[in-house]
């Protein structure tokens, strides 16, 4: 049995959860369940990123106390994670006292790679990121992701000497000691790393008061990303506790927009601390709404709670784990969502369960003792973190079962009493295969897998009183 540590990106709490936030959680939870299914022990972190000007200003704008504001929003994320059925073992808030103290310790430990300098340049508050002059020019002075002009900053900052670690990071990515998935993103990151200057890692207190103070310098506050990235190890107790039982992480799940922080600053911090690099960073694509980036001004922001409540959790997990390609962008529209529910979940799977359980009931069949087997093709795809493909593979098995029922026509066999044994053999084999499908489905649709298992392993096989996916 191995110990597996998995992490999710910690969202900013300058609003309620949106549909994109679900992706980190679902991917990490699916992988966590897969590893647990193999008998491994899993620790899965989640949390909220609660510092920085973006949050501070939002609270100010709303006229609410900043701490109260982050408390309320963090609660919404905690509720959301629960609603998604995520089995996280930890929940970290960057405003936790323990986290803040540990961040300051981390700062002290990397101090030999930090120097003070004056900064003159550009910043995007939406990204909470300093941008180079080249980027500024390429984007004509406006952040393409946030549609806001970059701010001009001219101030004294602390800098982190990325140059000290460039070669090591490059070698680690190239040799896959630090694997970045998908591969084309690893190439992008190598290119970025090459051009990466040292990074500013603090702001003067007058410019940023809502953050962790720099130890030994009252006038400066840590750059929010230093504080945020540290969460992955402070949550394990670093540096007060030995984290080697869990660290390095087996996989860190992040969206494509924040991969750069995880491929450059984060490895540099770990190397400066003398800690091993994570084994893998899995970068997922974006969920679009009707083919476009979700934005308040376009008015196409999808409320995840509304989606969740419309057809329940299995439908939600189904759509975002199967129809959101793990590595590229994907689209959400209500039409696509309804189609996937009716044509796939209800027709392919819901009907199959109902139909087969009814046939078994007619023959008075007792539930089976089920012995799941591992499936090497499935395992291989899951090990590549290509969850949407692994899910397609499971679905092909659902479709095969539907075909097999149609071909074997148990209802025809039922017309001949002398073929009763044959009928029982056919139904038993179909039910066993369906149980195996349920086993493979567990990481994706845990509730559904359990429901199928309880139907076909009960003392007597009876169809679910209400179909698993009633059509609407």
Q: Which residues bind ligand MSP (CB under 6 A)?
A: 9-12, 20-21, 23-24, 49, 228-229, 231, 254-255, 257-258, 286-287, 294
420 is catalytic: no
Beta carbon nearer to ligand MSP, 220 or 283: 283
CA atoms within 13 A on the CB side of 409: 5
Segment holding 44, helix H or strand E: strand 41-48
Pairing status of strand 213-214 against strand 217-222: antiparallel
User: Is residue 38 among the annotated active site residues?
Assistant: no
Give, as one character, the DSSP assignment of residue 213. E
The answer to whether 103 is a known catalytic residue is no
Q: Which is nearer to ligand MSP, 229 or 349 (CB)?
A: 229
Q: Is there a contact between 400 and 333 (Cβ–Cβ < 8 Å)? A: no
Catalytic residue among 143, 311, 323, 360: 143
User: Does residue 360 have an active-site annotation?
Assistant: no
By three-state DSSP, how is residue 386 classified?
Answer: coil
* Residue 155 host element (H or E): strand 151-160
User: What phi and psi values does residue 139 have, to the nearest 5 degrees?
Assistant: -95, 10
Between 9 and 110, name the residue whose CB sits nearer to ligand MSP. 9
Is residue 21 annotated as a catalytic residue, yes or no? yes
Residue nearer to ligand MSP on the CB measure, 24 or 442: 24
441 CB neighbour count, 10 Å cutoff: 24
Asked whether the CA dihedral 333, 339, 342, 345 is positive or negative, the reply is negative
Helices (H), 38-163: 53-62, 66-83, 97-109, 133-138
C-beta closer to ligand MSP: residue 293 or 355: 293
Active-site annotation holder among 170, 293, 361, 362: 293
Per annotation, catalytic residue among 54, 103, 124, 311: 124
Answer for the pair 331, 291: CB distance below 8 angstroms, yes or no: yes
The strand pairing partners of 281, in sequence order, are: 180, 252
What does the block give as tokens for 335? 């039409």
Residue 295 or 454 with smaller CB distance to ligand MSP = 295
Neighbours of 369 (CB within 10 A): 8
Residue 191: active-site member: no
DSSP 177: S
Shortest Cβ 98–ligand MSP spacing (Å): 17
Q: Cβ 406 to ligand MSP, closest distance in Å? A: 39
Q: Which residue is nearest to ligand MSP (CB)?
A: 255
195's CB contacts (< 8 A; 6+ apart) are 132
Return the SS3 of 114.
Answer: strand
Reference 200, options 236, 230, 241, 157; nearest CA is 157
What is the Cα 462 distance to its own chain's centre?
36
Q: How far is the CB of 269 from ligand MSP (least distance, A)?
A: 11
Query: How far is Cα 224 from Cα 233, in angstroms, rounded to an integer?
Result: 16
Q: How far is CA 167 from CA 185, 226, 294, 321, in A?
A: 18, 21, 37, 36
Residue 11 or 443: the one with the smaller Cβ distance to ligand MSP is 11
Give Dmax over CA atoms of the chain in angstroms.
91
User: C-alpha distances in angstroms, 404 versus 348, 414, 420, 433?
Assistant: 13, 16, 18, 11
- The question of whether 99 is a catalytic residue gets the answer no
- In the complex, the smallest distance separating the C-beta of residue 122 from ligand MSP, rounded to whole angstroms, is 19
Three-class secondary structure of residue 438 per DSSP: helix
Q: Which of 127, 262, 284, 323 is catalytic?
A: 127
Nearer to ligand MSP, 52 or 410 (CB): 52
Q: Catalytic residue among 36, 146, 166, 397, which?
A: 146
Give me 170's structure tokens.
Answer: 């490059």
Q: How far is the CB of 450 from ligand MSP (least distance, A)?
A: 28
Q: What Rg, from alpha-carbon coordinates, does the chain have?
A: 25
Q: Which of 66/231 has CB closer to ligand MSP? A: 231
Choosing from 18, 38, 83, 170, the catalytic residue is: 18
Q: How far is the CB of 261 from ligand MSP (least distance, A)?
A: 7
**Shortest distance, CB of residue 464 to ligand MSP, whole angstroms?**
33
Shortest distance, CB of residue 169 to ligand MSP, whole angstroms?
A: 17
Residue-level length of the chain: 472
In the complex, least distance from residue 418 CB atom to ligand MSP, rounded to whole angstroms? 59
Instruction: List, by residue number, the catalytic residues.
Output: 18, 21, 124, 127, 143, 146, 293, 296
């Amino acid at each position: 049995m191995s110990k597996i540590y998995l992490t999710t990106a910690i969202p900013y709490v300058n609003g309620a959860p949106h549909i994109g936030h679900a992706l980190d959680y679902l991917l990490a939870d699916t992988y966590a369940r897969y590893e647990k299914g193999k008998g491994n022990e899993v620790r899965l972190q989640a949390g909220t990123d609660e510092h920085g000007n973006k949050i501070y200003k939002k609270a100010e704008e709303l006229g609410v106390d900043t701490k109260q504001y982050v408390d309320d929003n963090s609660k919404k994320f905690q509720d959301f994670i629960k609603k998604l059925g995520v089995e996280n073992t930890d929940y970290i808030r960057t405003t936790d006292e323990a986290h803040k103290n540990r961040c300051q310790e981390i700062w002290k430990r990397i101090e030999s790679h930090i120097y003070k300098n004056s900064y003159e340049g550009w910043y995007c508050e939406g990204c909470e990121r300093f941008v180079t002059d080249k980027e500024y020019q390429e984007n004509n002075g406006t952040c393409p992701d946030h549609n806001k002009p970059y701010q001009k900053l001219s101030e004294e900052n602390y800098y982190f000497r990325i140059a000290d670690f460039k070669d090591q990071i490059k070698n680690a990515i190239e040799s896959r000691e630090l694997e970045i998935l998908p591969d084309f993103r690893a190439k992008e990151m190598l290119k970025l790393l090459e051009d990466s200057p040292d990074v500013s890692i603090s702001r003067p207190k007058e410019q940023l008061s809502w953050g962790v103070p720099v130890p030994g310098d009252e006038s400066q506050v840590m750059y929010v990303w230093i504080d945020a990235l540290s969460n992955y190890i402070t949550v394990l107790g670093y540096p007060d506790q030995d984290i080697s039982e869990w660290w390095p992480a087996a996989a860190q799940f992040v969206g494509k927009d924040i991969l750069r922080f995880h491929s450059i600053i984060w490895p540099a911090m770990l190397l400066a601390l003398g800690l091993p690099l994570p084994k893998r960073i899995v970068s997922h694509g974006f969920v679009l709404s009707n083919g476009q980036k979700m934005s308040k001004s376009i008015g196409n922001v999808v409320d995840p709670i509304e989606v969740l409540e419309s057809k329940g959790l299995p439908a939600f997990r189904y759509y975002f784990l199967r129809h959101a390609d793990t590595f590229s962008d994907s689209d959400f529209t209500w039409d696509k969502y309804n189609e996937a529910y009716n044509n796939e979940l209800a027709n392919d799977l819901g009907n199959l369960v109902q139909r087969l359980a009814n046939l078994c009931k007619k023959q008075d069949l007792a539930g089976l003792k089920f012995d799941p087997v591992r499936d090497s093709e499935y395992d291989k795809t899951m090990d590549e973190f290509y969850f949407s493909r692994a899910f397609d593979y499971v679905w092909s098995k659902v479709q095969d079962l539907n075909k097999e029922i149609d071909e074997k026509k148990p209802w025809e066999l039922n017309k001949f009493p002398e073929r009763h044994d044959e009928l029982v053999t056919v139904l038993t084999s179909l039910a066993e295969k369906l149980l195996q499908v349920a086993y493979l489905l567990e990481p994706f649709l845990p509730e559904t897998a359990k429901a199928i298992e309880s139907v076909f392993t009960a003392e007597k096989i009876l169809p679910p009183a209400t179909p698993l996916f009633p059509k609407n």
